[in-house]
Structure 1
Amino acid sequence: MTARTEHRGEVLPLVARALGLWRDGRTLLDNVDLRVEVGPLTVIMGPNGAGKSLLLRLLAGLIAPDAGSVTWAGRAPDRVRIKRLGFVFQAPVLLRRSVADNLRYALRAAGIPKAEWHERTASALAEVGLDRLADAPARVLSGGEQQKLALARALAPGPEVLLMDEPTANLDPTATAAIEDRVGRARDAGTTIVFVTHDLGQAKRLAGRVVFLHRGRVTEDAPAARFFDAPASEPAAAFIEGRLLP
Structure 2
Amino acid sequence: MKVFFTLLAIIGLAQGSVIAKDTLAQLLGNSIDADSLQQARADASAYFDQVLANLREQMFLTGMNAIPLPDQVLEFEQVIGGITFHGQAALYNGTLLHLDTLHRTGVADIKVEENGDLVISAEVGVNQATLHYEMIAQFMDLGPHAIVDGGLSRVRLLMALRVDFSSMAVHMQTFDIRSTGVLSVDIKGLGAILNFLVEIVASFLGNLIKGIVAAMLEGPIKNIINKILADLFFPPTVFNAIRAVQAVVGASIM
TM-score, scaled to structure 1: 0.22
Structure number with higher relative contact order (C-alpha < 8 Å, ≥ 6 residues apart): 1
Bigger Rg, which one: 2
TM-score, scaled to structure 2: 0.21
Higher strand share: 2
